């Protein structure tokens, strides 16, 4: 079944005309490492432009000044660092911050630092809706069994084909079948990115995206998608519907950017710029 604009419109949460910052969700991202300062910004900005009331972002202390300059709506803060990534010593601080959140994101430029990967695996038990992307997914390589603690918790994984293979996904199967199989086995919503992105739920539901173009095949596009899923989870959407809505709207924003800038030269920042217009078009 294809994801359509009418489906997305039907599942997006209504905006309370009397709402305030706390009404529309408080979300948190643990992202970034030395050499990856764009990813946390793109994810956080996408969450803001997807309707979140408050977006918190934690990054390693040495990259915090760069990310802080980039962010004018999200609220970044520094964490203890080791070898350019977030140190395991940050765990208590992160857990304390998560107590007040509605959803959280692990990934988006975290890097493959050993302590950071340990931290990701230790935080999987937090009882909140979770988006696991990029290096958050890579942290499960060889440790997919730890994902079992998320079976009864709202969890969305957003791998591309390479990341999917690292955590045991079968790229030899048709994409829809591979996504359904993994989602059912692991008890998560899987967003298998690529041409015709597939969204699969643990109960067997599966939908295929029809928006997007090859201008989205650039570093940073996936960070935007993760921030969008994070935002919609934080606004109370179920994980399967949140993932489908984010995937379709992300692709539509990419189509708008390609129409204006051209697929070759468009950038993730152009996609960010188009996000509000994409939501506006869908919601009418």
- Domain-wise residue ranges, the chain: 5-10+21-283
> Helices 221-234 and 268-283, interaxial angle, to 10°?
40
Distance CA 207, CA 205 (A): 7
CATH number of the 5-10+21-283 domain: 3.40.1190.20
Q: What is the pLDDT of residue 281?
A: 98
Distance CA 3, CA 12 (A): 13
Instruction: Tally helices (H) and strands (E) across the chain.
Output: 11, 11
Q: What is the pLDDT of residue 97?
A: 97
Q: What is the pLDDT of residue 98?
A: 98
Distance CA 243, CA 248 (A): 9
Q: How many CA atoms lie within 13 A of 39 on its CB side?
A: 27
Residue carrying structure tokens 């999917």: 164
Which one-letter DSSP state was computed for residue 85?
Answer: E
Distance CA 228, CA 222 (A): 10
- In tens digits, what is the pLDDT along the chain, a chain of 284 residues? 999 999 999 999 999 999 999 999 999 999 999 999 999 999 999 999 999 999 999 999 999 999 999 999 999 999 999 999 999 999 999 999 999 999 999 999 999 999 999 999 999 999 999 999 999 999 999 999 999 999 999 999 999 999 999 999 999 999 999 999 999 999 999 999 999 999 999 999 999 999 999 999 999 999 999 999 999 999 999 999 999 999 999 999 999 999 999 999 999 999 999 999 999 999 98
Q: What is the pLDDT of residue 271?
A: 98
Q: Nearest CA to 137 among 174, 103, 112, 101?
A: 112
Q: What is the pLDDT of residue 109?
A: 97
Q: What is the pLDDT of residue 151?
A: 94
Q: What three-state secondary structure class fits 104?
A: strand
Provide the whole-model pTM: 0.98
The number of angstroms, rounded, from the C-alpha of 274 to the middle of its chain's C-alpha atoms is 18
């Amino acid at each position: 079944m294809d994801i359509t604009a009418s489906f997305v419109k039907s599942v997006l949460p209504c905006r309370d005309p009397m709402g305030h910052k706390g009404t529309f969700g408080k979300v948190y991202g643990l992202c970034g490492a030395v050499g990856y300062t764009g990813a946390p910004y793109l994810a956080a900005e996408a969450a803001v432009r997807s309707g979140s009331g408050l977006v918190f972002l934690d990054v390693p202390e040495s990259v915090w000044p760069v990310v802080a300059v980039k962010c004018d709506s999200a609220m970044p803060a520094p964490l203890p660092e080791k070898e350019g990534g977030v140190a395991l010593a940050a765990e208590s601080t992160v857990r304390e911050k998560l107590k007040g959140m509605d959803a959280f994101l692990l990934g988006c430029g975290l890097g493959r630092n050993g302590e950071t990967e340990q931290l990701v695996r230790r935080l999987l038990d937090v009882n909140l809706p979770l988006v696991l992307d990029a290096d958050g997914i890579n942290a499960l390589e060889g440790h997919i069994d730890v994902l079992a603690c998320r079976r009864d918790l709202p969890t969305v994984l957003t791998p591309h084909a390479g990341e999917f293979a690292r955590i045991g996904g079968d790229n030899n199967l048709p994409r829809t079948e591979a996504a359904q199989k993994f989602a059912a086995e692991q008890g998560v919503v899987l967003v298998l990115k690529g041409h015709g992105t597939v969204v699969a739920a643990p109960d067997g539901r599966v939908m295929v995206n029809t928006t997007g173009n090859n201008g989205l095949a650039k570093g940073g596009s996936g960070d935007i998608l993760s921030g969008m899923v994070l935002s919609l989870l934080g606004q109370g959407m179920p994980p399967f519907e949140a993932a489908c809505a984010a995937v379709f709207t992300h692709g539509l924003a990419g189509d708008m950017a390609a129409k204006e800038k051209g697929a070759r030269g468009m950038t993730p920042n152009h996609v960010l710029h188009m996000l509000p217009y994409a939501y506006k078009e869908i919601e009418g």
